Amino acid sequence: MSRPTEPIGASMTTHRPGLSAARIATQVIGFAIGAALLAWCIVKAIGSADLERLRQADLRLVAAMIGVSALSMVCAGTAFWLALRPARRIPWGTHQAVNAMATLVNYAPVRLGVPSRFVYHMGVDGMGAWLVAGWVATVGACTLSALAGMTCGALAGVGTIELLGWGAAAAIGLGVACAIGTTEACVRIVGLLRHVPLVARKLGGAESMLASRASLRLVAGTRFVDFSMYAARAWCAGRILELPLDAQQILLVALAGYIMNYNPLGRFGFREATMAFVASRLAGETGLDVSAAFAQLALIESAGEALASIPLGSIGGSWCGLRILRARRAQRAPRAD
């Protein structure tokens, strides 16, 4: 098959959307608050804690945390690959490299994950700004659909046990059914958005993404797999610390942390504080304070992710950076002639 002479979205504006001063200020303030929350967790974790369990941590659990963190990054990259396929075919490996880069730069005071996607795909793949925006929005809408399904499923599962007194099997069954049903309903709504005139004018070629219900379902499904990696990492952290949390409680702690990943103020610090607080409440603690063990849980879980995302993000970012530089040199070459 011959390669099209004009990339999809090339007729759209090539202006790369920038970060407004208000958005930068908001994220910097969010980063400062997150840093304070992270410092609070660290103080709680080491202030009066017994660190012996950390020193004697099972290396297999540590390796498992890093492994599932890497798989989580693969799931995120796959979600973007699946969402774009109806409109544009870009190799799966490229999506993994770009996603790794985006994950790494999200650690910055100003979250640069989405802008970095614009820079790469517009500069290297020749995609239009509106096409990239519609693509990112499609993944975001599917992610919100999956989050809605996860939340409803968790509430249904907990309610089945706490209110109805049913067993774990019934709770899991009802929770899964609610999660699937809610996600499917949300995905159908997302697919209908292409018919809204205001949305249709801004899609920039992304209509085919929203028209493919199978693709939307797969994207939402990868988010469920992604969440299972988060839950596995939280379970490993709990096992290292030998915390009195059962599988249902670990799932709720992981869900709280997963949701905070999409906090508009940033995930840095907010996720750790939220996970520590939710875990302490599930364990029966009261008040606003948390014990050292649950602060350690949140920090270990976060460290397990960083041990995978920072090296993989550095590799992916270096590869993407070289591709961006080559693309810019190629664009300037005809002018020199």
pLDDT in tens, 20-58: 777 778 878 888 888 888 888 888 888 756 677 777 888
The H-assigned helical ranges of 48-128 are 52-55, 59-84, 92-105, 113-123
Task: Label residue 171 by pLDDT band (50, 70, 90).
Answer: low
The count of other CB atoms within 10 Å of the CB of residue 195 is 11
Q: Are 61 and 300 in contact (CB under 8 A)?
A: no
pTM of the model: 0.83
pLDDT in tens, 213-235: 888 889 988 998 999 899 999 99
pLDDT of residue 13: 40
Higher pLDDT, 107 or 98: 98
pLDDT in tens, 266-318: 777 888 888 988 888 887 776 667 778 888 888 999 999 999 999 999 999 99
Q: Estimate to the nearest angstrom the gap between the alpha carbon of 140 and the chain centroid.
A: 9
Q: Are 87 and 99 in contact (CB under 8 A)?
A: no
Determine the Cα angle at 274 with ends 146 and 150, to 5°: 15
Give backbone dihedrals phi and psi of 11, rounded to 5 degrees, phi first: -75, -15
Separation of alpha carbons 300 and 267, rounded Å:
15
pLDDT in tens, 156-170: 766 665 555 555 566
Could you give the count of Cα atoms lying within 13 Å of 96 in the half-sphere of its Cβ?
11
What Å distances lie between residue 28 and 265, 267, 281, 289, CA to CA? 8, 12, 30, 26
Average pLDDT over residues 165-187: 70
304-328 b/e with 16+ CB inside 10 Å = b?
bbebbbeebbeebbebbeebbeebe
